[in-house]
Amino acid sequence: MSPRGRRRGRAKGAVDYGTCGAAKAAGAVPSGGYREGRDVEYGFYRDGDNDGYVCE
């Protein structure tokens, strides 16, 4: 396990930080959050409002 998160999925460089807060603190979240269909990391987190974005 990486000290900053857990590598997951098939996309090279994709890291599951466990929470959006941890991903944001690591500077890993792009502006606007992870988008469904674009970012593999979208699948790592819960989209509570079903808008197609997580960690926004």
Given a cut of 50, is residue 2 above it in pLDDT?
no
Report pLDDT digits (tens) over 31-53.
Answer: 999 999 999 999 999 999 999 99
- pTM for this structure? 0.78
Given a cut of 70, is residue 3 above it in pLDDT?
no
pLDDT at 13: 82
Average pLDDT over residues 17-22: 97
pLDDT at 1: 43
Q: 17: exposed, middle or buried (C-beta count within 10 Å: 0-12, 13-18, 19+)?
A: buried
